[in-house]
């Protein structure tokens, strides 16, 4: 870790002011007229933003715009006050990006691939080998650094993607659905890594998996059908679901009907039936009692209001 901290000082210094990303009424419409993102406004400072939303909510399109791979068709994105559509280079120099469909050359070793990516990012060759080794160590691949990536598991390939995103010690780190293919141990490693990295940089973690951001996100944004329907602290989202979560035990034969009638956030089979947990404005039956909402309950409650009416 000491080597990593030392390398941070030699790669790319941070600006004197904290990084600030502003999205001003940002929208994106495809050439066929399909609107993917509409009216997104956010002001972001260092920390971890958990960007939640179901598949197809527009998260990946928004991430591509933030990574300067697509230009907004309406609104503006500002990095430290500068429009990134007009002047993308200041952001690109200090950006780390792990896309949802990350690909690496299978015939290269992890060390060779990261050195190649360092050249692509125009990092100075002096000290690049050390920075590559530091990134490999940070993601736990130092012992497999000289193996071809084609021999890696899915989780190991994803860790290579994380390492390449960290090569230039980014002030803005964007990761899109990063835990796909990771086993529980690797997922925990990644969450801990993000928490360690977030101190003085802005990390945007886009996912549809609530546990990926539950313990690490300092702020949350939730997108549904291309629009931002929540932006705030996790506690605020939990407060919205207070008094809307219910638990009780039902016979296993009743579970399909309950799933059809309510938004079931959890079910646990027990010797005498199934313990169900649902989100609803009112108690669904006399046996149900109010439960303390978790973030996944609150997220499901929010989605139910914006996708299919109030539960």
Quickly tell me which residue has 């400072």 as its tokens: 45
Contact (CB, 8 A) for 36 and 29: yes
The whole-number average pLDDT for the span 48-67 is 93
The predicted structure's pLDDT at residue 18: 55
Helices (H), 72-126: 89-92, 110-120
Give the number of other Cβ atoms within 10 Å of residue 143's Cβ. 9
Q: Which domains are present in the chain?
A: 2-232 (3.40.50.300), 239-307 (no CATH)
Contact (CB, 8 A) for 3 and 134: yes
CA–CA dist 190, 194 (Å, integer): 6
The predicted structure's pLDDT at residue 119: 92
Does 288 score more than 50 pLDDT? yes
Q: Give per-residue pLDDT as tens, 203-222.
A: 999 988 898 888 789 999 99
Q: Give per-residue pLDDT as tens, 244-265.
A: 999 999 999 999 999 999 999 9
Quickly tell me which residue has 């502003």 as its tokens: 22
Quickly tell me which residue has 């929540």 as its tokens: 230
The predicted structure's pLDDT at residue 1: 44
The predicted structure's pLDDT at residue 216: 84
Contact (CB, 8 A) for 181 and 88: no
CA–CA dist 172, 190 (Å, integer): 17
**Average model confidence (pLDDT) across the chain:** 88
Does 234 score more than 70 pLDDT? yes
The predicted structure's pLDDT at residue 63: 93
Does 280 score more than 80 pLDDT? yes
> pTM (2 decimals)?
0.85
Question: What count of Cα atoms within 13 Å lies in the side-chain half-sphere of residue 271?
Answer: 0
Strands 35-44 and 263-270 turn out to be: unpaired
CA–CA dist 244, 290 (Å, integer): 7
Strands 202-207 and 47-52 turn out to be: parallel
Closest C-alpha among 157, 109, 168, 158 to residue 135: 168
Does 84 score more than 50 pLDDT? yes
The predicted structure's pLDDT at residue 111: 96
Does 4 score more than 60 pLDDT? no
């Amino acid at each position: 870790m000491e080597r990593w901290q030392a390398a941070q000082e030699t790669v790319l210094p941070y600006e004197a002011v904290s990084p600030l990303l502003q999205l001003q009424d940002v929208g994106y419409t495809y050439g066929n007229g399909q609107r993917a993102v509409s009216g997104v406004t956010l002001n972001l400072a260092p920390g971890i933003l958990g960007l939640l939303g179901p598949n197809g909510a527009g998260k990946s399109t928004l991430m591509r715009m933030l990574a300067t791979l697509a230009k907004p068709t309406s609104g503006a994105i500002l990095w430290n006050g500068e429009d990134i559509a007009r002047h993308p280079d200041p952001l690109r120099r200090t950006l780390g990006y792990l896309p949802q469909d990350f690909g690496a050359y299978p015939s290269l070793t992890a060390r060779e691939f990261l050195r190649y990516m360092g050249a692509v990012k125009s990092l100075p060759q002096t000290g690049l080998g050390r920075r590559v080794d530091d990134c490999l160590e940070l993601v736990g691949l130092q012992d497999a650094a000289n193996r071809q990536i084609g021999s890696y598991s899915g989780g190991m390939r994803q860790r290579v993607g994380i390492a390449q995103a960290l090569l230039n010690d980014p002030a803005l780190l964007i990761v899109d659905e990063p835990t796909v293919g990771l086993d529980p141990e690797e997922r925990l490693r990644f969450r801990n890594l993000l928490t360690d990295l977030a101190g003085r940089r802005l990390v945007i973690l886009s996912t549809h998996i609530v546990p990926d951001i539950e313990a690490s996100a300092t702020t949350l944004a939730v997108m549904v059908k291309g629009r931002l329907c929540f932006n705030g602290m996790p506690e605020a989202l939990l407060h919205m679901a207070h008094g809307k979560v219910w638990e009780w035990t039902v016979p296993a034969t009743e579970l399909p009907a309950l799933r059809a009638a309510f938004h079931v956030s959890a079910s646990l089979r027990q010797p005498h039936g199934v313990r169900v947990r649902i989100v609803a404005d009112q108690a669904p039956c006399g046996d149900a009692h109010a439960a303390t909402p978790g973030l996944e309950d609150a997220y499901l409650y929010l989605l139910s209001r914006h996708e299919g009416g109030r539960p």
